[in-house]
Structure 1
Amino acid sequence: MPINIEYRGPADLPEIIPVFPLPGALLLPRGQMPLNIFEPRYLAMVDDSLRDGHRLIGMIQPDVAHSPKNSDKPALFRVGCVGRITQLAESGDGRYILELTGVARFKVVEELEVLTAYRQCKVDFFAFVDDFTARMGEDEVDREALLSVLADFLKANNLKVDWEGVESAPNEALVNALAMMSPYGPAEKQAMLEAPDLKTRAEILIAVTEMDLAKKRTSGDPPLQ
């Protein structure tokens, strides 16, 4: 999806961003994520991001394994992805329907003590400078293996796909869209997020899917959800 502003590198992004902790949510550069915003603190977050003009929200997963029990402020994974609000609609019942377009991944430097109800972090984008270059490293992706495991997954789950659209998609768009839509858990999503390059992300997606299919074949269990 086109964005009205060009982000050429880390210096084009703010050092402090609002973050939206959401388990199982995976946003990747140039990927699109729909969001249904209804909690008051996140409605305020959207309003503030629009008012400030940057229109940016950092998507990040809670790190449940390292969070205090019964905490309303779980620990966060150290890597997330910032997205720009590229579509916004009001529902008429107090909700926002958003679409975020991924810009770049970030590392959390520190979470700030803030007065806002939503959380804010100081972040560093320099570790992921390649994210600012579209289609970086996509020639290294094993597209044939990716399409093969996709076909096996669809068959095992009685699903259909627009193969014409799949076959015409560039490798970056294909890998990132499949990773974001994949039904796997937070750990697998985080591994795909933190992959150093597109080739490695595709390999993780293939490996996780093959393990899921093997489990289903040998045990009769349903695929990972």
Structure 2
Amino acid sequence: MTAQERVERAASALKVFPLPSAVLFPHTVIPLHIFEPRYRDLVRDALATDRVLALGQLEPGWEGKYEGRPGLQPMLCAGVIVWDEQVEDGRYNILLQGVSRVRLVEELSADKLYRQVRAHVLPDLSYTGPEEEQLRQAVFELAGRVPPSFAENLLPVAARAGGGMLADVVASAVVPEPERRQELLVELDVRRRLEMVLEDLGDLLTQLQPMRPSGPLN
């Protein structure tokens, strides 16, 4: 079964981990340390079944309600746990690989400590346009202004990715603010998403100077 098929099967009762500090994109991986009891239960149950869970953002004003069930923003990213490690006190370290955007349809009754929703899976539509090559060229320019270790991870993916995948992978690498990342997650128009990421990358490039060669000049 593919990761996409796992997410589609899980969508009728999708486990949700609300994490205001992080936004996951499809085609990318995020490390998570799970320590709250309700989310330890979530990960344990996911590992025992389909390994699927969604990362989500909370509606503004959640701070005083976090221990309860504050409102979830409707767009989430569902992913598959691709690596896990249980550590002391029942905590987990996991790697969650984003698979697909999903839209919350309704929250299910609270028969678990953690939250579950019924969701609609939203695969990207195919798109090919000039924005792809513009963003790819901007990534190549970025590679000349950042440490090689950063560029080595991003360049191979940017070189072979296209459409929505290209936008998501680059956004994951260069956009740090959760609010902006959520805006990009919400954007279903692939062309517009590519344009938005290109704008963000352009802003970053204006702040960075080309790196000087580390060896002697001939």
Structure 1: stretches of 5+ with no match in the other structure:
218-225
Structure 2: stretches of 5+ with no match in the other structure:
209-218
How far apart, in 2, do the equivalents of 1:11 and 1:40 lie?
Answer: 27
1:33 corresponds in structure 2 to 30
1:146 corresponds in structure 2 to 135
**SS of 2:11's equivalent?**
coil
Cα gap change, 1:8 to 1:68, in 2 (>3 Å):
closer
How far apart, in 2, do the equivalents of 1:101 and 1:69 lie?
Answer: 27
- TM score, norm. by length of structure 1: 0.73
Give 1:151 shift.
5.4
Alignment of 1:38-57 (within 5 A): 38-51=35-48, 53-57=49-53
Q: How many residues are paired up?
A: 202
How far apart, in 2, do the equivalents of 1:183 and 1:82 lie?
Answer: 19
Cα gap change, 1:48 to 1:6, in 2 (>3 Å):
closer
1:71 corresponds in structure 2 to 65
2:20 corresponds in structure 1 to 23
How far apart, in 2, do the equivalents of 1:200 and 1:189 lie?
Answer: 14
Cα gap change, 1:75 to 1:103, in 2 (>3 Å):
same
- 1:169 counterpart (134, 155, 160): 160
Contact kept? 2:51, 2:81, Cα under 8 Å: yes
Contact kept? 1:34, 1:100, Cα under 8 Å: yes
The runs of at least 4 aligned residues of structure 1 exceeding 6 Å deviation read: none
Give RMSD over aligned pairs: 3.0
Query: In percent, how many aligned pairs have the same letter?
Result: 27
1:179 corresponds in structure 2 to 171
What do residues 64-103 of structure 1 show as CA deviations (whole Å, max 9, x unaligned)? 2xx3562224322111011111211233564322122222
- TM score, norm. by length of structure 2: 0.75
Cα gap change, 1:199 to 1:94, in 2 (>3 Å):
same
How far apart, in 2, do the equivalents of 1:210 and 1:105 lie?
Answer: 25
1:61 corresponds in structure 2 to 57
Cα gap change, 1:13 to 1:48, in 2 (>3 Å):
closer
Give 1:42 shift.
1.0
How far apart, in 2, do the equivalents of 1:208 and 1:117 lie?
Answer: 38
1:121 corresponds in structure 2 to 117
How far apart, in 2, do the equivalents of 1:10 and 1:47 lie?
Answer: 17
